[in-house]
Copies of this chain bind each other. A is one copy, B any other.
């Protein structure tokens, strides 16, 4: 079934059918209804490719999940508790606005070709990227293609200087610095002085910021940043587990531990449990992200909530709006984190 047939059946020309489909104003109500009736009768759906080829939008946005670590694990991405809700949210928000989502994952540098192709082959109107690290060159080469692109968790400062070059870019972050500061200050208020951290990957914006905020918060209160209490976690469960284990075996523990994400906090708690170290009696723990699981475990993990849904929504809306616009402009959004108090923090014991 094609528009020509509809035209014939309705006794009009293809142009008129097209006008009806696209809701153009210059067609009288009567004609419109006549055409619509035929369209509905035959469940006619215009061929997307033909429309796109003739200059219309694809009504599809690309979602690219970058996951360059953990390559061997089959369940890699959604195993990561952070990406899954994000993908969900993007699909959800896009669908509400009448858009499809074309999704592709990037495990290796070569896979970036696929995201470029999604743009250059005109499969999508705009794209959203999450999980990017400092793959500067490639990332820039994608942005330079000029299509509306949103990046989640990316250093805005770095490119803010060359605003005119990145008019098609949307950067979305959460208040990680403030969130971390709040978490550390909360621990300090509880009387903790030896506060450790499980670091994320530092070539990640959030990893970097969360660590910087941790250091700053301690220094501001005149507390020591003790190397022994800094665990390299790289945002990975396994690394966090091993790092924590090493610290435990070393025998000297902080009284509180801030983890750069929830997954790693969970790993640490596992180690503590295995070694008879009680949370929060012996050590307080705070995570980051506030993924769903952590409120269901015992003890429920105190965490800094990242408003994933809002970030996804903003990203979707921004790129879609940009695509509709004539004029692009660099946009930055920052959404608020929130400290979710639960059961893994307690007052520091007096020595």
A contact residues vs B (CB 8 Å cutoff)? 43, 45-50, 52-53, 58, 60, 74-79, 84-85, 87-89, 91-92, 95, 100-105, 111, 114, 116-118, 120-123, 266, 270, 273, 292-293, 296-298, 308-309
Contact = CB atoms under 8 A, between A and B. Distances in A.
A296 B266 contact: yes
B74 A79 contact: no
Nearest to A312: B74
A60 to B, nearest CB: 7
A93 to B, nearest CB: 10
B123 A100 contact: yes
A75 B122 contact: no
Contact of A102 (B85, B102, B266): B102
The 8 closest A-B pairs by CB, nearest first: A49-B49, A78-B88, A78-B84, A45-B120, A48-B121, A49-B52, A84-B84, A49-B53
Given A78-B84, A100-B123, 6 more contacts: A49-B52, A53-B53, A74-B92, A78-B85, A78-B87, A293-B293
Given A43-B120, A102-B102, A123-B100, A74 B89 contact: yes
Contacts of A273: 298
A309 B84 contact: no
Contacts of A48: 49, 121-123
A309 B100 contact: no
Contacts of A88: 75-79, 84
B309 A75 contact: yes
Contacts of A118: 100
A123 B47 CA distance: 8
Nearest to A43: B120
Given A53-B49, A105-B92, A105-B95, A75 B292 contact: yes
A102 B101 contact: yes
Contacts of A120: 43, 45
A52 B53 CA distance: 10
Contacts of A123: 48, 60, 100
Contacts of A105: 91-92, 95
A203 to B, nearest CB: 24
Contacts of A47: 53, 121-122
28 contacts: A43-B120, A46-B121, A47-B121, A47-B122, A48-B122, A48-B123, A49-B52, A53-B53, A60-B102, A60-B123, A75-B292, A75-B309, A77-B91, A77-B92, A78-B78, A84-B88, A91-B105, A92-B105, A95-B105, A95-B111, A95-B114, A100-B102, A100-B104, A100-B118, A101-B103, A101-B104, A103-B103, A298-B298
A102 B91 CA distance: 10
